[in-house]
Structure 1
Amino acid sequence: MKSPQYYIRKTHRYLGLFIGIQFMLWVLGGLYFSWTNIDKIHGDHLVNFPNPNISLTDSLLSPNVAILKARLHPEKVKSLNLTRVLDQMVYQVETESSIILINAQTGSIRPPLSQSEAADFAKKIFKPKSEISSIEYITKDNLQDHYQYRGGTLPAWAISFKHPSNSVVYISSEKGSFEKIRNKQWRLYDFLWMVHIMDYQTRDNLNNWLLRGFSILGLTTVLSGFTLFYQSSRTIRNIKNKDL
């Protein structure tokens, strides 16, 4: 009859073989996360963040007057924010169904950003002097082609630049605002994060069952290793023999 140690050794060996690759990916991901600058991952060093300051010389309508001039129903307004869109002060009004831009000086509704306006905005946002390689309009229908923009406001413009960082600037067309920038460092970080938490769909679910299962298997592997060490250690056996 085979001893319990035999089965523990077998379990430890095959578990180690099965989850060894995932262990290695966890370690590689941890090394990358701890040794990289998160601001560079986010691409902050590549961005000229818009100046939100309001000039005191601007003659602006009050929010209530602007909403009435735009012929909106005040009761349908969920939130209102004063911001700057392409050197123009606007009220960014969120309703139950959409986001509307109202010219803060005239009260007229500003249309969503066009392709050319989004391109001009992106050039101001992106610090390096680089040419635009492509522009794409993102909606729910083609969002899967831009996984790196998940969770962002739609619709939006994706403006790619001819730059060593392979950066893409995302501009919300309705809000008229800069949303995100993604570069090759972020894509590597995002890939390692995906395999680290083992969520291969949304990449943000830390409670998925695959991760839980591998965590239990990993703990079992470690505990079986400790058990084997305890059972096979000559020092421990000598201590036991002395006690006898």
Structure 2
Amino acid sequence: MKPIAAASWIHKWLALIVGVQVLFWFASGAFFAAYPIERVRSEHRIARAEPAALSLPQMRSGVDLAALLPEAPTRLTYERSASGREVAVAEFPERRPITIDLNDWKVTSPLTADAAAIIAQTYVAGSPRVREARLVTEESPEYRGVLPAWRIAFDDAEGLAVYVAADTGRVTARRSDLWRLYDALWALHIMDWRDHENFNSGLLLLTALTSLIVALSGFVLMPYRLRLPAFTRSSANR
């Protein structure tokens, strides 16, 4: 088979094999470039709060902080929750964290659905109406954060859902319809349709190398397709 005929055969059949995936790469790449990642992450929906210093309340009479904890924590932090309350979060090596409300020195974890909804509403600008509160105990393509967590879905045009860790009350993720579309296109882009995160797969590498061969064979054919005189004469003399 002549070199030009071989290049034409390779270009045609390999392009047919990888053509759909190349279209996915182009379409998803254009989408990624069109939407700022800050909007995909719903950063524009975060309620802006003025910084406020933590003021550790005095221990109430008869309250023993150690008695509220099952064992000595590996980490104890004082922070302001998304709802504005001052809390202490105790973390342990092998058990779930415990949250203590510093206003009344009571354990508030795990959060109830209503408490998680209040945190999520305070966290989101405009305090939209909650459509659904659902406890999540397993990872999914939409959420791989701290578990268990409450998924607080809002009744708004963006399909926003906020994840609140059930043990700490911390907001761990924001998901919207734009994010879900972005994630679906990302799965097509990296060819990981199950977990949406592995871009080192053999399938992706093979498809990329095949696409590279298609492009290189196209460059070989381009002078002949454009019928440049020097190349057409050379081809005719073979």
Q: TM-score category by the smaller chain?
A: 0.7 to 0.9
Work out whether 1:208 is the aligned partner of 2:201. Answer: yes
Asked if 2 retains the 8 angstrom alpha-carbon contact of 1:197 and 1:211, the reply is yes
Aligned partner of residue 180 in structure 1, secondary structure: strand
Q: Which residue of 2 aligns with 1:21?
A: 20
Work out whether 1:167 is the aligned partner of 2:163. Answer: no
Query: 1:235 Cα deviation (Å)?
Result: 4.2
Work out whether 1:148 is the aligned partner of 2:142. Answer: yes
Structure 1 segment 228-239 matched on structure 2, within 5 A: 228-229=221-222, 234-237=228-231
Aligned partner of residue 81 in structure 1, secondary structure: strand
Task: Give the one of 205, 218, 226 matched to 1:225.
Answer: 218
Separation (CA, whole Å) in 2 of partners of 1:114 and 1:68: 24
Query: 1:44 Cα deviation (Å)?
Result: 0.9
Query: 1:231 Cα deviation (Å)?
Result: 6.0
Q: Which residue of 1 aligns with 2:176?
A: 183
Separation (CA, whole Å) in 2 of partners of 1:218 and 1:185: 29
Q: Which residue of 2 aligns with 1:95?
A: 92
Separation (CA, whole Å) in 2 of partners of 1:70 and 1:196: 49
Q: 1:54 to 1:109 in 2, by over 3 A?
A: same
Separation (CA, whole Å) in 1 of partners of 2:108 and 2:115: 12
Q: Which residue of 2 aligns with 1:120?
A: 118
Which segments of 5 or more consecutive residues in structure 1 lack a partner in the other structure? none
Separation (CA, whole Å) in 2 of partners of 1:226 and 1:163: 50
Aligned partner of residue 176 in structure 1, secondary structure: coil
Aligned-residue CA RMSD (Å): 2.6
Identify the range of structure 1 (2-11 vs 198-207) with the bigger mean alpha-carbon deviation. 2-11
Which segments of 5 or more consecutive residues in structure 2 lack a partner in the other structure? none
Query: 1:117 Cα deviation (Å)?
Result: 0.7
Q: 1:35 to 1:66 in 2, by over 3 A?
A: farther
- 1:135-166 superposed Cα distances (whole Å, 9 cap, x missing partner): 111112xx44xx311x2111111111111101
Work out whether 1:7 is the aligned partner of 2:3. Answer: no
Asked if 1 retains the 8 angstrom alpha-carbon contact of 2:132 and 2:153, the reply is yes
Q: How many residues align?
A: 229
Asked if 2 retains the 8 angstrom alpha-carbon contact of 1:69 and 1:107, the reply is no
Asked if 2 retains the 8 angstrom alpha-carbon contact of 1:83 and 1:90, the reply is yes
Separation (CA, whole Å) in 1 of partners of 2:119 and 2:160: 15
Separation (CA, whole Å) in 1 of partners of 2:180 and 2:200: 22
Separation (CA, whole Å) in 1 of partners of 2:48 and 2:70: 31
Separation (CA, whole Å) in 2 of partners of 1:117 and 1:109: 13
Asked if 2 retains the 8 angstrom alpha-carbon contact of 1:15 and 1:217, the reply is yes
Q: Which residue of 1 aligns with 2:52?
A: 53
The TM-score, its normalising length taken from structure 1, stands at: 0.82
- 1:203-222 superposed Cα distances (whole Å, 9 cap, x missing partner): 11110111111011011111
Task: Give the one of 137, 140, 146 matched to 1:139.
Answer: 137
Query: 1:129 Cα deviation (Å)?
Result: 4.7
- 1:19-77 superposed Cα distances (whole Å, 9 cap, x missing partner): 11111111111111112121111001112166663344x4256xxx9762424433xx3
Q: Which residue of 1 aligns with 2:78?
A: 82
Q: 1:225 to 1:60 in 2, by over 3 A?
A: farther
Separation (CA, whole Å) in 1 of partners of 2:110 and 2:231: 77
Asked if 2 retains the 8 angstrom alpha-carbon contact of 1:66 and 1:106, the reply is no
Q: Which residue of 1 aligns with 2:34?
A: 35
Structure 1 segment 101-112 matched on structure 2, within 5 A: 101-104=99-102, 108-112=106-110
